[in-house]
Amino acid sequence: MSDKATLEYKGDKYEFPVIEGSENELAINIKTLRGASGMITIDPGYKNTGSCESAITFLDGEKGILSYRGYSIEELAEKADFLEVAYLLIFGELPNKEQLDKFHQDIKSESHVDEEMKKILDGFPKSAHPMGVLSSLTSALVAFNPESVDISSEKEMYDAIVTLLAKFPVLVAWAMRKKKGLPLDYGDDSLGYVENIHKMMFKKPNQEYKKNKIVIDALDKLLILHADHEQNCSTSTVRIVGSSHAGLFASISAGISALWGPLHGGANQAVLEMLEAIEADGGDTKKYMAKAKDKSDPFRLMGFGHRVYKNFDPRAKIIKVAADEVLNDLGIDDPILEIAKGLEQEALNDEYFVKRKLYPNVDFYSGIIYRALGIPTEMFTVMFALGRLPGWIAQWREMRLKNEPIGRPRQVYVGENLRPFVAVEKR
Ligand code: CMC
């Protein structure tokens, strides 16, 4: 196989090295293209553009494979817990017991949030979407932890990472408690990472918190499944903001905003709202299938399709089983699940969906579990952000350790050519 690719344009030939990833993916390195030829490439939506070399997450959209640092998502979801996966993603290897204990201990020692932050939260109306609240509070954290911005050693980087992993769940819990009118609280360091998150979210002021293993296990699994997904919209945002050395917290805050949109993380909320709307409209799934296929109708079947997975989304497979288990274990009979199953069956057998390789994605089933766990619909994307945090951090860390250049794409200008200014009275 040639290790060079040749581009020919108007009789001139340009050669570019072809690089191969550890899973045999090939890429043409066009670093010298503009210098040599004066041309750039254009690729709207970056469908064919690799922005970096990364050793964190591998996914094969055709085969439906997803792995973190070489471990399959199926095995991690079954055998690991979220904190272990976070460590694995960020530092590259599964932690031994001592490393894991230290990591958890370091997180616990940072698990308070400055009381002044409550005033910022207070300024939001109760109706504020929690993703906006979370993004703002994450950004505000910079002011209370200024040392996290200018990172010049791995120790400072580690401290910033641990600080964020510690404080972020508190912000998530506060965003939900504000919505529910519950008093703000801090965590309990005697608990596991995920159990503590659950307690911070749900503890009632007048009741003792009771651990529910089924709920904690389901939450753990969901967070693991969302923990990283290579160079998607929000992760690329984190990397590009981080590439200006804006600091970890500001980069993550930007990533939260990117995740918010309904074509990305916001899809889990959109799925549930869609299923509820179908139920309220009499449960006629065929009507909504027809709407999704009608090109004059902007409606899309939320939770279907994926930029990369063109066969099936391996996360959706695991979540589908987990959704059944959780609903069974908690004794919940949810008509929404029946509608979801009906839609799935119809789509899997429908020519429009089959031809375009549109399969249920991770968000199709995650909302159903979140709903069963008592998490309000508007918080679904916040839960996605909570799961994605270690992935964002890992990608940011990888980029900073490699000292990657500032992200700055080019464009093809198609506007007016230079023209004389016209005074306002002459326009
Ligand atoms: N319902 C109906 N038609 C669809 C859908 C859908 N959900 N998704 C794609 N299509 C059609 C689309 O209209 C187009 O048709 P045509 O070729 O006739 O023009 C074709 O399929 C290809 O779609 P695309 O928009 O070019 O594909 P994309 O790779 O740019 O978009 C997507 C991927 C995920 C944004 C899109 O499938 C979508 O909008 N899905 C619904 C939203 C959703 O569930 N998003 C969550 C993604 S998973 C979580 C995450 O990782 O963020």
Task: Give me 157's structure tokens.
Answer: 């980087």
Mutate to test the pocket of ligand 1, among 300, 301, 319, 348 (most ligand atoms within 8 A of CB): 300
Q: Where are the alpha helices (DSSP H) in 360-402?
A: 362-372, 380-401
- What DSSP state is assigned to residue 405? P
Closest listed residue to residue 383, CA positions, set 368, 365, 370, 395: 370
User: Can you tell me which atom of ligand 1 is nearest the CA of 313?
Assistant: 48
> What number of CA atoms fall less than 13 Å from residue 111's CA on the CB side?
22
The active-site residue out of 150, 306, 329, 350 is 306
Instruction: Report the pLDDT value the prediction gives residue 273, as an integer from 0 to 100.
Output: 92
* Count of residues in the chain: 427
Question: In sequence order, what are the beta bridge partners of 19?
Answer: 27
Rounded mean pLDDT, 211-238: 94
d(CA 233, CA 231): 7
DSSP-based three-state secondary structure for 4: strand
What number is the average pLDDT over the span 116-144? 96
Tens digits of residue pLDDT in 378-409 = 999 999 999 999 999 999 999 999 999 999 99
Tally of CB atoms within 10 A around 386: 25
Report the Cα 73 to chain-centroid distance in Å: 15
The 10s digit of each residue's pLDDT in 231-255 is 999 999 999 999 999 999 999 999 9
Percentage of the chain lying above the pLDDT 70 cut: 100
What is the pLDDT at residue 294? 96
The model's pTM is 0.92
206 token code pair: 């007048």
Say yes or no to pLDDT of 267 above 90.
no
Among 35-39, 369-373, 388-392, whose mean pLDDT is lowest?
369-373
Backbone phi and psi for residue 244, each to the nearest 5 degrees, phi listed first: -90, 5
Counting beta carbons within 10 angstroms of the beta carbon of residue 275, is it exposed (0 to 12), middle (13 to 18) or buried (19 or more)? Answer: buried
Instruction: Please report the beta strands in 32-143, taking only residues with DSSP state E, as ranges in sequence order.
Output: 57-60, 65-68, 71-72
Structure tokens given for 264: 């990305």
Task: Quote the CA–CA distance of 379 and 384 in Å, as a whole number.
Answer: 9
Residue 1 pLDDT exceeds 60 = no
Ligand 1 binding pocket includes 385 (Cβ within 6 Å): no
The region that residue 244 occupies, defined by phi over 0 for left and psi between -120 and 50 for alpha, beta otherwise, is alpha
Residue among 260, 263, 312 whose CB has most ligand 1 atoms within 8 A, to mutate: 263
Position 392 scores a pLDDT of 98
Nearest CA to ligand 1 atom 30: 307
DSSP state of 255: H
Question: Ligand 1 in contact with 381 (CB < 6 A)?
Answer: no
Q: Is 267 in the pocket of ligand 1 (CB under 6 A)?
A: yes
Indicate the range of 195-204, 327-336, 376-385, 394-403 predicted with least confidence: 327-336
Residue 2 is predicted with a pLDDT of 60
Write the pLDDT tens digit of every residue in 148-173.
898 889 999 999 999 999 999 999 99
363 is a catalytic site residue: yes
Q: What is the pLDDT of residue 373?
A: 87
Q: Inform me whether the pLDDT recorded for 210 exceeds 90.
A: no
* Mean pLDDT, residues 364-379 taken together: 89
Task: Tell me the pLDDT tens digit for each residue of 75-85.
Answer: 999 999 999 99
Rounded to whole angstroms, how far apart are CA atoms 214 and 196? 15
Find the mean pLDDT for residues 27-49. 96
Of residues 338 and 74, more confidently modeled: 74
Confidence of residue 126 (pLDDT cuts 50, 70, 90): very high
Q: Mean pLDDT over residues 6-31, rounded?
A: 96
What is the pLDDT of the chain when averaged over all its residues?
Answer: 94
